[in-house]
Amino acid sequence: MDASTPTPQPNRAERFVSRVIELCRQDKGLAARLRRADNPATEYQSWELLAAFGVDLDQEEQRLPFATVACAIARAKAEHNGSLSLGRAIAACYEDGRDSEQAKARLRRLLACDDIAELCRLLRPLLSLIDSRAGEPLDYLRLLQQLLRFSHDPQQVKARWAQDFYGQVAEESA
């Protein structure tokens, strides 16, 4: 890249993931509040951060993906964004990988979701499981982008998760 080529600016999702990782390392109080962001009764504790990133708190399809990912980052005490996709992460949680009946059942349950509220509710315990068992960090940016896309194109997002899980990943990016 030469000097005349502009450097691409990170989008809001990229800035959000990077900033949450940084803030959780610096501010343990904020990290504790974000860990509670996946509970509907205490989700409001993340709203200050979400609003600072221009998230419309009235719009569930915007608010829940950001809150869910912020909580997952805080709980995992992530030092950086990982590279593990959600589908691969589910398989990595089980000794038999993609052949595990438990892993397949968890994936099928996600694929059966019809709306973002149900999906984020199911992801909460799954993200904790991934953090404790997968052995490598999740790609939080990809997950956030997929959750934001879910309300508009759920079939495409579900297809990507299934492809990642079963190991038949297309060359194009998620």
What is the tens place of the pLDDT at every residue in 72-122? 999 999 999 999 999 999 999 999 999 999 999 999 999 999 999 999 999
Number of domains in the chain: 1
Q: Classify residue 172: in a domain, yes or no.
A: no
pLDDT for res 173: 46
Q: Classify residue 5: in a domain, yes or no.
A: no
- Residues whose CB is less than 8 angstroms from the CB of residue 45 and which lie 6 or more positions away in sequence, other chains included: 33, 34, 36, 37
- pLDDT category of residue 8 using cuts at 50, 70 and 90: low
- Computed over every residue of the chain, the mean pLDDT equals 91
Q: For residues 148 and 62, what is the distance between their CA atoms, to the nearest angstrom?
A: 6
Whether the Cβ atoms of residue 67 and residue 36 lie closer than 8 Å to each other: no
DSSP code of residue 163: H
Q: Classify residue 173: in a domain, yes or no.
A: no
Q: Classify residue 7: in a domain, yes or no.
A: no
Task: Residue 63: give its domain's CATH number.
Answer: 1.10.520.40
Residues of the domain holding 44: 12-166
Q: Classify residue 4: in a domain, yes or no.
A: no
Q: Classify residue 133: in a domain, yes or no.
A: yes
CB atoms closer than 10 angstroms to residue 141: 20
Average pLDDT over residues 39-60: 94
Q: For residues 90 and 152, what is the distance between their CA atoms, to the nearest angstrom?
A: 24
Q: Classify residue 159: in a domain, yes or no.
A: yes
Q: Classify residue 108: in a domain, yes or no.
A: yes
